[in-house]
């Protein structure tokens, strides 16, 4: 059982939790993740670690309500407990002094990008950050990223904040404007990572992507998180989650993410329905 210390709404349907998890807090490095089980009948879901405080023994988890489990988690308040948290899992980000590093984050992927950008900055890189969101109130951690970036660009799909357009538009203007980039890292929705990867490949910029495939144990046992990288089968939980973005078979990965779409939608709808019934019942009382 892990106790929630604080809860903070970062944007629409996005919550930041600071959770008691001393072993994770003292051992995690940027790029790693945990597996969380919210209740005793819950599924195991991977969540990236957004930050940690080793002295306090706490980690930050940022959750967007998209399915049943994340909606259930978002209902938790400070003082509540999360049934299981295990980690840190996966290999840490390879951080070194590359020179100029482009950090690209989209949507909820901005959460794990923050510790990586911070690590890159601490390794004396020139950090250029590009953040993308569908709309302004879905943008998270802009101020945090700004403190660890030398340059920061925000794009929104609808133009409600920053530049209107996609992160790829911003990257293209940067490169066409003469900005030199030695290394890129991209974390976000799979389609955004795919198109960012295609673009940086075109520009010849080495790029790492952090993948978020379906996972159960997260410890190198079940094989559910397999992805094809450079024509070889790799397992994101132990070989990743970061891989050479230019070698990832994105279409196969994106397709596999949809394996349980129907079941997930049904579960989320059922959960919302049950919540409404219990709310109605509470009001009727």
Partner 1 sequence: MNAATRLKLPPVVMPEQDPAERVHNVREVPFGFTPAMAVQEAQRCLQCTNQPCVEGCPVGVRIPDFIQAIESGDYLAGIGIIKQTNLLPAVCGRVCPQEEQCQKDCTVGIAHGDVGQAVQIGKLERFLADWERENHAAVIPQIAPSTGKRVAVIGSGPAGLTVAGDLIKLGHAVTVFEALHMPGGVLGYGIPEFRLPKEIVYAEVAYLTRLGVDFRYNTVIGKSLTVDEVRRDYDAVFIGSGAGLPNFLGIPGESLLGVYSANEYLTRANLMHAYDENSDTPILHGKSVAVLGGGNVAMDSARTALRLGAHRAMVIYRRSEEEMPARKEEYRHAVQEGVEFHFLQNPLEVLGNPEGWVTGLTLQEMELGEPDESGRRRPLPIPGQTSHTLADIVVVAIGNNPNPLIPAALPSLQMNRHGGIITDEETMETPIPGVFAGGDIVLGAATVILAMGQGRKAAHAIHALLMRTTEIASN
**Would you call 81 helix, strand, or coil by DSSP?**
strand
Q: Smallest distance, Å, CB 42 to partner 1?
A: 5
* Candidate ranges 33-41, 105-113, 115-123, 150-158; the one touching partner 1 (CB under 8 A): 33-41
Per DSSP, which regions of the chain are E strands? 2-11, 14-20, 33-37, 45-53, 58-64, 81-82, 84-89, 100-106, 126-133, 151-156, 163-164, 183-187, 207-210, 226-229, 232-235, 242-244
Binding mask 203-242 for partner 1 (x = CB under 8 A): -------------xx-xxxxxx-x-x----x-x--x----
* Assigned token pair, 67: 């399915």
**DSSP letter assigned to residue 76:** -
The residue (of 45 and 127) whose beta carbon lies closer to partner 1 is: 45
Cα 210 to chain centroid distance, Å, stands at 8
The residue (of 17 and 98) whose beta carbon lies closer to partner 1 is: 17
The residue (of 180 and 270) whose beta carbon lies closer to partner 1 is: 270
Distance CA 49, CA 29 (A): 9
The residue (of 137 and 264) whose beta carbon lies closer to partner 1 is: 264
The residue (of 147 and 252) whose beta carbon lies closer to partner 1 is: 252
HSE at residue 127, side-chain half, CA atoms within 13 A, is: 27
The residue (of 85 and 110) whose beta carbon lies closer to partner 1 is: 85
Identify any residues that bridge with 129 across adjacent strands, giving them in sequence order: 103, 152
Distance CA 12, CA 74 (A): 11
* Candidate ranges 19-27, 112-120, 127-135, 277-285; the one touching partner 1 (CB under 8 A): 19-27
- Name the packing angle between helices 190-203 and 167-176 (round to 10°): 10
Site for partner 1, residues 66 to 95, rule: CB under 8 A: 68-69, 83-89
**What is the size of the binding site for partner 1 (CB under 8 A)?**
41
Q: Smallest distance, Å, CB 57 to partner 1?
A: 13
Distance CA 114, CA 111 (A): 6
Binding mask 236-265 for partner 1 (x = CB under 8 A): --x----------x--x--xx-xxx--xx-
The residue (of 1 and 284) whose beta carbon lies closer to partner 1 is: 1
Count other Cβ atoms within 10 Å, centred on residue 99. Answer: 12
Please report, as ranges, the residues that interact with partner 1 according to CB under 8 A: 23-24, 27, 37, 39, 41-44, 68-69, 83-89, 216-217, 219-224, 226, 228, 233, 235, 238, 249, 252, 255-256, 258-260, 263-264, 267
């Amino acid at each position: 059982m892990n106790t929630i210390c604080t809860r903070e709404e970062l944007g629409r349907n996005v919550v930041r939790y600071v959770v008691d998890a001393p072993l994770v807090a003292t051992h995690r490095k940027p790029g790693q993740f945990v597996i969380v089980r919210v209740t005793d009948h819950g599924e195991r879901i991977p969540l990236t670690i957004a930050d940690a405080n080793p002295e306090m023994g706490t980690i930050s988890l940022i959750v967007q309500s998209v399915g049943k489990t994340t909606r259930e988690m978002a209902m938790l308040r400070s003082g509540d407990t999360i049934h299981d948290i295990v980690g840190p899992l996966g290999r840490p980000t390879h951080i070194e002094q590359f020179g100029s590093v482009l950090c690209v984050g989209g949507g909820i992927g901005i959460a794990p990008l923050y510790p990586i950008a911070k690590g890159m900055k601490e390794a004396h890189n020139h950090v250029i950050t590009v953040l993308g969101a569908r709309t302004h109130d879905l943008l998270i951690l802009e101020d945090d990223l700004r403190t660890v970036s030398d340059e920061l660009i925000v794009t929104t799909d609808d133009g409600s904040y920053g530049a209107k357009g996609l992160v790829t538009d911003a990257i293209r203007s940067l490169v066409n404007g003469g900005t030199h980039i030695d290394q890129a890292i991209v974390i976000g929705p799979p389609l955004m990572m795919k198109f960012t990867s295609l673009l940086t490949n075109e520009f010849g910029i080495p790029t790492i992507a952090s993948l978020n495939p379906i996972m159960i144990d997260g410890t190198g046992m079940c094989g559910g998180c397999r992805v094809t990288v450079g024509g070889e089968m790799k397992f994101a939980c132990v070989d990743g989650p970061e891989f050479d973005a230019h070698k990832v078979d994105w279409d196969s990965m994106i397709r596999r993410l949809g394996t349980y779409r129907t079941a997930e939608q049904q579960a989320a709808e059922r959960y919302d329905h049950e919540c409404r019934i219990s709310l109605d019942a509470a009001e009727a009382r």
